[in-house]
């Protein structure tokens, strides 16, 4: 849980926006997004993990988030495949979950219905900031590989782990941090929420799916499952949920999170340019999606940044003037 402050408030605001956002998106598209408010079960095997639970319970209480101790019998009923070695379980009621794959598909459908043009797999070679760019007239020209340049009045940069590598923009200190995950199928539990220990998490996905995540690795832009990564996820699974040994291992994947030096996203305008930045969300991209959308829309329509956005402006990392050699002087951490 983040420390009290504007970033925690952004996270809580965004979490609270999700249910209404899903309802609105469903009304617009006729498509549903799996949403679950059961919370997270934080489990402890060892004494030091129990101590961690105490810290989390205190932190939750300090910011008014609900947490409750779960009795062993209730836990076994909810999660019959869990290890008998789990000594203590804390339920965090404020941790909700959405199916991120469904959410992206439904968002795309809603955007299309609203007249947005979507282009997939576009390889941007360079962003050109045009003379006189700003509130009036064309502001940017986007050069793409194998296609005609495109011009736009405004640009919202929401390019995730690749955000530090867009030639022609200021060098944003966003680096990729790999996360590997796997999906199991055939898991029949009463518990529909998340389960987490210090070593990983398991989150329900659809009728019988269970997603196991996630590694945190500095591996550059190499988004691939690896021998050691999947082995570590399976070790977590077998330690925490030994009843799943014979369960079907369905899918493996790896993704890249956009990380920043201070762990906070970059939300806001590049001073003097028609470019808004919405990246660097690290592990909070889904959580912060509705708040980020609202915040960027707010700022693009001329309002001041909200109080929650304090400290998230990209200018904290940018030495103005912002002209720079395309791509030079910045090495992705690997």
Q: Rule CB under 8 A: which residues touch a copy of itself? A: 184, 219, 224-231, 234-235, 237-238, 244-249, 252
Q: 109 or 234: whose CB is closer to a copy of itself?
A: 234
**Shortest CB 219 distance to a copy of itself, Å:** 7
Q: 143 or 239: whose CB is closer to a copy of itself?
A: 239
The secondary structure of residue 132, as a DSSP letter, is T
Is there a contact between 250 and 185 (Cβ–Cβ < 8 Å)?
A: yes
Q: 9 or 81: whose CB is closer to a copy of itself?
A: 81
Q: 108 or 234: whose CB is closer to a copy of itself?
A: 234
CA count, 13 A, side-chain hemisphere, 37: 6
Q: 225 or 255: whose CB is closer to a copy of itself?
A: 225
SS3 category, 93: coil
Q: 180 or 299: whose CB is closer to a copy of itself?
A: 180
Q: 88 or 239: whose CB is closer to a copy of itself?
A: 239
**Shortest CB 218 distance to a copy of itself, Å:** 11
The answer to whether the Cα torsion of 261, 266, 271, 274 is positive or negative is positive
Give the integer Cα–Cα distance in Å for 243 and 239. Answer: 10
Give the integer Cα–Cα distance in Å for 233 and 271. Answer: 43
Give how far Cα 29 sits from Cα of 16, 99, 108, 188, Å.
Answer: 21, 16, 10, 30
Give how far Cα 235 sits from Cα of 177, 184, 200, 229, Å.
Answer: 21, 14, 10, 10
Q: 180 or 292: whose CB is closer to a copy of itself?
A: 180
What tokens appear for 37 in the block?
């408010």
Closest by CA to 313, choosing from 277, 263, 261, is 277
Question: Which residue is listed with tokens 């489990």?
Answer: 43
Question: Which residue is listed with tokens 């691939």?
Answer: 224
Give the integer Cα–Cα distance in Å for 279 and 173. Answer: 10
**Shortest CB 132 distance to a copy of itself, Å:** 48
**Shortest CB 330 distance to a copy of itself, Å:** 24
**Shortest CB 226 distance to a copy of itself, Å:** 5
Q: 135 or 227: whose CB is closer to a copy of itself?
A: 227
**Shortest CB 305 distance to a copy of itself, Å:** 41
**Shortest CB 247 distance to a copy of itself, Å:** 5
**Shortest CB 180 distance to a copy of itself, Å:** 9
Q: Exposure of 211 by Cβ count < 10 A (0-12 exposed, 13-18 middle, 19+ buried)?
A: buried
| 156: Cα separation from own chain's centroid | 18
Closest by CA to 275, choosing from 306, 260, 296, is 296
**Shortest CB 257 distance to a copy of itself, Å:** 18
Identify any residues that bridge with 42 across adjacent strands, giving them in sequence order.
Answer: 90, 196
Give the integer Cα–Cα distance in Å for 162 and 256. Answer: 9
């Amino acid at each position: 849980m983040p420390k009290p402050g504007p970033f925690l408030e952004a996270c809580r605001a965004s979490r609270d926006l999700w249910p209404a956002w899903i309802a609105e998106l469903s009304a617009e598209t006729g498509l549903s997004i799996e949403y679950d408010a059961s919370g997270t079960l934080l489990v402890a095997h060892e004494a030091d993990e129990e101590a961690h639970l105490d810290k989390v319970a205190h932190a939750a209480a300090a910011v008014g988030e609900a947490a409750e101790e779960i009795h062993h019998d209730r836990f076994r009923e909810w999660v019959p495949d869990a290890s008998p070695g789990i000594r203590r379980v804390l339920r965090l009621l404020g941790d909700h979950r959405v199916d991120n794959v469904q959410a992206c598909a439904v968002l795309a459908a809603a955007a299309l219905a609203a007249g947005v043009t979507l282009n997939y797999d576009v390889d941007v070679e360079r962003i050109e900031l045009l003379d006189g760019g700003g509130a009036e007239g064309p502001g940017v020209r986007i050069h793409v590989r194998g296609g005609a340049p495109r011009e736009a009045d405004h640009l919202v940069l929401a390019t995730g782990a690749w955000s530090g590598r867009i030639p022609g923009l200021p060098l944003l200190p966003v680096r990729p941090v790999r996360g590997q995950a796997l999906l199991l199928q055939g898991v029949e539990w009463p518990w529909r929420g998340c389960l987490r220990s210090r070593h990983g998490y398991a989150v329900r996905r659809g009728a019988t799916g269970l997603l196991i995540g996630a590694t945190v690795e500095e591996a550059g832009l190499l988004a691939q499952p690896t021998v050691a990564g999947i082995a570590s996820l399976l070790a977590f699974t077998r330690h925490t949920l030994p009843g799943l040994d014979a369960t079907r291992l369905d899918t493996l994947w790896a993704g890249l999170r956009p990380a920043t030096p201070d762990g906070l996203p970059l939300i806001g305008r590049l001073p003097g340019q028609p470019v808004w930045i919405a990246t660097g969300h690290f592990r909070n991209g889904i959580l912060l999606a509705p708040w980020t959308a609202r915040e960027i829309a707010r700022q693009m329509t001329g309002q001041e940044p909200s109080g929650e956005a304090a400290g998230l402006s990209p200018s904290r990392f940018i030495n103005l003037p912002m002209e720079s050699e395309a791509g030079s002087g910045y090495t992705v951490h690997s």
